[in-house]
Amino acid sequence: MSDKHPNLNYEFYFLFQIEFDYAIKHGQEPLSLANHFTQENLHSLKIDKDKRLFRYTPPLTDTGNPPPLDEWEKHLQQGWAQILACYTDAFQQITDAQISIKPRLDKKLGFFQPLQAFMGVAMLIMDETLDAHQISFDTTEGKVTFKPSTQKTPAEKILLKVTDKFGELTDSLKTPATVEEFQPVHHPAAMEHWQIQLDPTQPPQLALMQVGEIHPNPVFAVYGLAHGILPTAADWPHQLQGFLCSGKGVCYLV
């Protein structure tokens, strides 16, 4: 957050499988994990019947503003640690009786290892414009920089227009919201397809994807939401977030 980018904000979306087969074992998330829960900075809901989506919003700074973009890596790691803590709390509620009823749930595999169910994380950067933003990521082949893609036309990037009930663009969003896909500028020859490696004690890193069904290969993606100039008390970003997360937003769409 800065005077130059007064609307800057960003958050992370972590996707997990609820139930899956791993090798010859069957795994599922803890039965005590709530279908839909909200904690400070962390939201979760089931989607597509077999997946769980966590949305982590970095906490505000002491001045009440979102953290600067150059701290994104720290907050990605904090979000991951908080999600692992949610699973750990749920694991502690599993009784020996439940385990005896479900003998296939091996402690060494999916049911007790959220990393095996982890499918990937997407970072969403939200600001008036996105051209000035980029993030750098360490990989096993060196550092890579993600920047907004220039392959699509402005019309192809339009996500939605926020209008009033008469169909006129509102003063809070004269410019339609667009989605920008961030792409890596540097492609090492051996790193055309990356997976993300997350650890609560180590910085996140991208590594080469592994071949074979036993490798989960969680992916990493960066997107931008360009939404034009917003007044200080604009409500539509919250409505848009609700629309994107649950389809229950109250925005008028054109």
Walking along the chain (254 residues) 10 residues at a time, the average pLDDT comes out as: 71 89 69 73 87 91 88 94 84 53 43 75 90 89 85 75 62 72 73 80 86 78 83 64 53 36
Please give the full DSSP string across 14-28, using - where no structure is assigned: EEEESEEEETTEEEE
* Confidence at residue 125, expressed as pLDDT on a 0 to 100 scale: 93
* Confidence at residue 168, expressed as pLDDT on a 0 to 100 scale: 63
* Confidence at residue 143, expressed as pLDDT on a 0 to 100 scale: 86
* Confidence at residue 104, expressed as pLDDT on a 0 to 100 scale: 46
* Confidence at residue 116, expressed as pLDDT on a 0 to 100 scale: 78
Task: Give the span between the Cα atoms of 50 and 48, in whole angstroms.
Answer: 6
* Confidence at residue 107, expressed as pLDDT on a 0 to 100 scale: 44
Alpha-carbon dihedral angle through residues 18, 21, 23, 27, given to the nearest 10 degrees: 50
* Confidence at residue 248, expressed as pLDDT on a 0 to 100 scale: 47
* Confidence at residue 19, expressed as pLDDT on a 0 to 100 scale: 79
Helix (H, G, I), strand (E, B) or coil at 73: helix
Please work out, in degrees rounded to the nearest 5, the angle formed at the alpha carbon of residue 205 by the alpha carbons of 8 and 118. Answer: 85
Question: What pTM was computed for the model?
Answer: 0.80
CB neighbours (10 Å) of residue 168? 9
Task: Give the span between the Cα atoms of 123 and 136, in whole angstroms.
Answer: 13
Q: For residue 180, which of 148, 210, 156 has the smallest C-alpha distance? A: 148
